[in-house]
Amino acid sequence: MAAFSVLDLSPIAEGGDAAQSFRNSLDLAQHAERWGYRRFWLAEHHGMPGIASAATSVLIAHVAGGTKTIRVGAGGIMLPNHSPLVIAEQFGTLEALFPGRIDLGLGRAPGSDQATARALRRNLMSDADEFPRDVLELIDLMSDEPEQRIRAVPGLGAKVPVWILGSSHYGAQLAAMLGLPYAFASHFAPQALMQAIELYRSLFKPSKFLDKPYVMLGYNVFAADTDEEAKPLATSWQQSFVNLRSGRPGRLPPPREGFYEQSTGGERALLDTILSCTAIGSPATVKERLREFIAETRADELMIAGAMYDHRARVHSYEIAAQVREELATSP
């Protein structure tokens, strides 16, 4: 049975602020730990009014410091924004503080608009096409005996598990070539899902990190006690997604009854894409959707996403998802 983990962007709701978002993230992580989730990952985004996880390494330390056993990591760090040495030092520090609990997922996208990306990098020579080389350099810096003269302190010997993240064939091929675990962003870009994971599995080369392919897939869950209660809870995320794709990023809005039905044709087409990797409803509805998705994809692990305006409703949704996993694990 696939393991379940949590993806959190530390959403900032309308009327809230980053401080409240950070408290909510820690609270959710503490609940997830008690309910048996394997990981709690935070993602790097910049210049987005509704996402507070820009300083991802700092927020990982906040969450790891308030939990005891759950793995905490980045899903992911957008490596083109940083030098490999800086990330090796940051995650070497995290591993020293919380040994055996830190993960490092690496993405190739900037996690921002182009103007913000230029401000982050400062160096116009930086290029996402250097991503494979940067991944190898970062892994080397965290090894016991780096081949390069530079030493990451902390970082040397940290051996933090590295994942390749992606939403296209590119990441699948790179993860397979390097023998690393692969996480696909099907929760917001599912178009190439099946092709990417089959490509990864067919091209995978065993390595010192992994002897066989390991696939984690993003999946949206908006669960409540009934289907009727769950539907409006998902509309905050739906509005946010449409706003972002339309160039109007903002804070997470309150639920809006009938949002999908009232959407324009173009907006509905956007939503239909991500709804293919989404479960909205009661425990029974969510269970059936997850059962079908896991059977189709043969995922080793699901990274559950689900931003909601009401924090208590979001926590309850993750509680239901954890209960559903228990039932799936024990059912024939």
pLDDT tens digits along 64-95: 999 999 999 999 999 999 999 999 999 999 99
Q: What pLDDT does residue 124 have?
A: 47
Candidate CATH numbers 3.40.50.2300, 3.30.70.1520, 3.20.20.30, 3.40.47.10; the one for domain 1-160: 3.20.20.30
Specify the pairing of strand 71-78 against strand 301-305: unpaired
Q: How far apart are CA 273 and CA 189, in angstroms?
A: 8
Contact, 304 vs 4, CB < 8 A? yes
Which stretches of the chain score pLDDT less than 50? 124
CB count, 10 Å around CB of 289? 19
Burial class (CB in 10 A: 0-12, 13-18, 19+), 168: middle
Query: pLDDT for 155-170, tens place per residue?
Result: 999 999 999 999 999 9
How do the domains of the chain map onto residue ranges?
1-160, 219-299+310-332
Q: What pLDDT does residue 129 have?
A: 72
Q: How far apart are CA 169 and CA 189, in angstroms?
A: 12
Alpha-carbon separation of residue 178 from 103, 104, 140 (angstroms): 17, 15, 13
Query: pLDDT for 200-247, tens place per residue?
Result: 999 999 999 999 999 999 999 999 999 999 999 999 999 999 999 899
User: Is pTM, for the whole model, over 0.75?
Assistant: yes
**3-state secondary structure (DSSP) of residue 140:** helix
Q: What pLDDT does residue 62 have?
A: 98
Q: What pLDDT does residue 115 have?
A: 72
Q: What pLDDT does residue 119 have?
A: 72
Q: What pLDDT does residue 118 have?
A: 72
